[in-house]
Every structure is written in C-alpha cells, then in structure tokens.
Amino acid sequence: MIFDITHYGATGDGVTDDAPAIQRAIDACADNGGGRVTLPAGRTYLSGTILLRSFVDLHIESGATLAASPHDEAYTLRRQTSGLAGLPGQDTDLSTMLITAKGEKNVSITGGGTIDGGGRHFVIKDNGHSYEMEKVRPYTIYLIDCERVVIRDVVIRDGAYWTVRASGCRGVQIHDISIRNDTLLPNSDGIDIDSCQRVNISGCDIVTGDDGICLKTCRESTRYGNCEDVVVTNCTIVSTSSALCIGSETASPIRKVVFSSCVISGTNRGITVQMVDGTDVSNVLFSDIVVETRFFDRVWWGQGEPIHVSVAPFRAASGTVRNIRFRNILARSEGGVVVHSDDPGCISGLVFDGVRVEIDRWSGRPGGFWDLRPNLANDVVPHTTSGFHVEHVSDVSLRDCEVVFAQPEGHRSPDLRHAVELVAVEDVRRCDVRGTSADPSRWSAMVRDRQPIDA
C-alpha cells in the first residue's frame, strides 16, 4: 500500500512544518498493516520529529527533500543520551532527533531523495577550523531497539549531529547511501553503530566532520548487549577526525567485526581503535584498505596516524584490546602508526600483515606531536614520529611490512625517527619490516630497553 503524504496535508513548500502530515501518513500506514509512505518528487518538506513505526518504509523520491526544521521547538521527542558530553555526570540536556523509532520492527528509509539535516541552522560561530555549535541539535536518524532495519539509497546532507545512529538494533542493513556533511561541523559523525548485532554496511560514500563510520557501546545502551557481528565494506570516507573507528564510547564489549575494501582520504586518523572504558574490544579484522591521513587543526583529534590503537583510562579503568588484525593496508600519511597503552597488559594479539606506510609532509603544518586523546590530559604533546611505534603491547607481529620516508634524505622533517620503535613490548613474534630510519646514519629501528635491531 502507498501512502502519499500530500494526501494527509503536507504542503512541500519548504516553510510549513509538514511533520504532523507526515506522521498522519505513517500512522495510517502502520494501522493498515504497513506499506510505503512516499514523499513525492519536486518539493521540500520542512519537518520536525518524525516517529517511524513497524512495517513502514519511509520513501523519499528522487527530487524530494525532507528538511530538518531550524526551530528547536519542532523537535517534539527528546531523549537522554551520553553523546552531548564527554564525561559521566555532565549530560544534563536532552537530545533531539529528526527521524526516530524505538522498539519497532521492519522499519526502512529508502529512495533516491535527500534528507537535509540542517546543521547550518545550529552554528553559533565560525572559528576558522571548526564551528561553535548549539549544544542541543538533532540527530538526523536515530533508531533504538529496532529489529530488521534498512536504510538504502538516500542522500543525507548537512547533518547537525550524528547523522545515522542505530542503538541496540538487530539486523541492520545500510547500503548505498551518500552522506555530505560540513567537514568543519563537530560531532557530525557519518554512521554510528551503538550496541547493535548483525550489521551490514556497504557501498556508502561519506564526507563528514568527525568519525566516518564508528562502532560504539554507549552508557545508555548497555541493556542491549554487545556490539558484534558487524561487517563494513566497499565504502569511501573523507573525515575531519577518524574514518573507520571503534570507540571512544565502549561501555560494553565490541567484538567479531570486519572492515574491508575501503578508501580513506583527507582524514586526521585513518583506522582507529580507542578504548577509554573498562571493557573489551576483540576479534577485529581491517583488510584491503587504502588510507591517506594528514595534519589539521588541533581542535580535532588526530595527528595524521594511518592506524591508531590506544588504551587509556578516561571514564573507567583501562579495558583491553585483543586479537586485532591489519592486513593489506596501503597508507600515505603525515604521521606514523601509533599503538599505545598507558598500562601494560591491555593490548595483545596484534598482527600487521602487508602494511605499507609512506610518511610524507604536504599540509604545511609541523610534525613532532602525539595525540592520544581521548584521555584525561586532553592535550597534544611533543613526540618524535616513527613508521610504527608500539608501546606496552604483548604478542605482536609485523609481517611483510614496509616503511618509506618520502622526503629526500637531508631534507626530512626533524621529528622523523625510526622505521620501527618498540617500547616495553613483550613477545614480539615477528618483525619483518622493509625500510630504514629517517636518518640511517643516526637511528636504527629500536626496541627500548633492549638491544637495537635493524629494520
């Protein structure tokens, strides 16, 4: 059955709030056993909060736009989330949302049309490298505790906050969507998968500020269990922070995850696993990925690391990261691979297999800094740069890896050091790395507190 929202009073003039008419069409569709609610082409439908229901396909036709209202009062449903602040006890404001559902089954958002998240309406000030934003601004799509979710083919632009968030959902399919956010808009993540199971994301083209595709287990979602059985493949991502990310919200375990066949460009951090809560991330595979990372303003996390794995107590005691594989990764970056734990025994079972890191400098910004945020220090600190820096890790292997310093010898940035630097590492099963240090006359690859080794 087809339910045309204009038959329920939607004007599509881009001025009138069409949310009540859209909701009437959704309710009629659900009350009649389900079907498709259509937004006809050629119009812009201004809207506040829309509540999806079971067995309803919200279909935005090619040439139609669903536009988020600039008026805060248009967002009639508000929920407590942990996303608005970084530390416990600071989340006092309720979050708003454009399209949402809770506890529904067989919900979908489809069509070749556009969802305009209206991020520009919530900008307070342009600071040059990022915007100062209203604290409360809407999630574009926020689905909670839903079964069998499909989001396909839509174009989403100018997200005001996390663009697509699924929390505690089972059986999530997100395919062939395009996200075009302002890359200076903080927290405008592309896709956030929070405490979900059986998730498949493919063919998505994402340009966004902050994380591109991120797996989380937020504090308000722990009742829904682990985040697990997730596959992300064939995506292209441009991000002002991390492109493919696990964390930093990790209140319950994340495991059994595959990221493959993706291309990452223009990003502060390429592949990120950041553990700041006392839980576990395990059995994760990153494979067949091309990465390009660069320096940017320090308001954004990251120092050009193609791969970043860190464990630091922030909201709770240190958790663990176990059995992570990086296979067939080609990286051109301004920073090096960083694996770091504040405490020993938290990171184990890491394998780098066929990882090539070419370190070059092209942004015009200086190197020689480390960014381990999020952590309690919450700052960037001076530090040298190596192709691979691995610290406080046990059971690590580097197989058929390569480090290249692209700047000509004698003209390399002064912070560049070793091809490989291992610090307080236990059980190095293999260290098979081609390449030399940035200045072979001064530095070889180093194992701190042990004898130097060549690599």
Provide the pLDDT for residue 92: 60
Strand-pair category, 380-382 with 369-371: antiparallel
Provide the pLDDT for residue 355: 98
Q: Percent of the chain, pLDDT > 90?
A: 82
Cβ proximity of 423 and 389 under 8 Å: yes
Interatomic CA distance for residues 398 and 432, integer angstroms: 6
Q: What's the pTM value of the predicted model, to 2 decimals?
A: 0.95
Interatomic CA distance for residues 176 and 155, integer angstroms: 9
Mean of pLDDT values over 270-283 = 92
DSSP string of 213-274, one letter each residue: EEEEE-GGGGGG--EEEEEEES-EEEESSEEEEEEEEESS-EEEEEEEEEEEEEESEEEEEE
Which of 20-29, 94-103, 112-121, 311-320 shows the lowest per-residue confidence on average (mean pLDDT)?
311-320
Cis peptide before 374 (omega within 30 of 0): yes
**What is the DSSP code (8-state) at residue 29?**
H
Provide the pLDDT for residue 445: 60
Provide the pLDDT for residue 181: 98
C-alpha closest to that of 43 among 26, 18, 24: 18
Provide the pLDDT for residue 314: 72
**What is the DSSP code (8-state) at residue 91?**
-
Q: Output the furthest CA–CA distance in the chain (Å, rounded).
A: 77
Q: Is the pLDDT of residue 59 over 60?
A: yes
Cβ proximity of 308 and 273 under 8 Å: yes
Mean of pLDDT values over 246-258 = 93
Mean of pLDDT values over 186-213 = 97
Q: Is the pLDDT of residue 188 over 50?
A: yes
Question: What Rg value do the Cα atoms of the chain yield, rounded?
Answer: 23
Reported as a single tens digit per residue, the pLDDT across 96-118 is 999 999 999 999 999 999 999 99
Mean of pLDDT values over 60-65 = 98
Amino acid making up residue 357: V
Report how far Cα 405 is from the mean position of its chain's Cα atoms. 28
Provide the pLDDT for residue 411: 92
Q: pLDDT band for 439, please (50, 70, 90 cuts).
A: confident
Q: Is the pLDDT of residue 88 over 70?
A: no
Give the position of tokens 């722990």: 222
Assign 3-class secondary structure to 258-306.
Answer: EEEEEEEEEECEEEEEEECCCCEEEEEEEEEEEEEECCCCCCCCCCCEE
Mean of pLDDT values over 255-274 = 97
Fold of 2-83+94-448: Pectate Lyase C-like (2.160.20)
Provide the pLDDT for residue 123: 97
Interatomic CA distance for residues 116 and 167, integer angstroms: 21
Mean of pLDDT values over 342-371 = 94
Reported as a single tens digit per residue, the pLDDT across 383-432 is 999 999 999 999 999 999 999 999 999 899 999 999 999 999 998 888 89
Mean of pLDDT values over 376-380 = 75
Provide the pLDDT for residue 453: 45
Mean of pLDDT values over 344-357 = 96
Write phi, then psi, for 160 (nearest 5 degrees).
-85, -25
Q: Is the pLDDT of residue 451 over 50?
A: no
For the chain, first and last CA: distance in Å? 65
Across all residues in the chain, what is the average pLDDT? 93
Which of 52-56, 77-81, 141-145, 403-407 shows the lowest per-residue confidence on average (mean pLDDT)?
77-81
C-alpha closest to that of 186 among 264, 131, 138, 129: 131
Q: Write out the two tokens for 257.
A: 């995850």
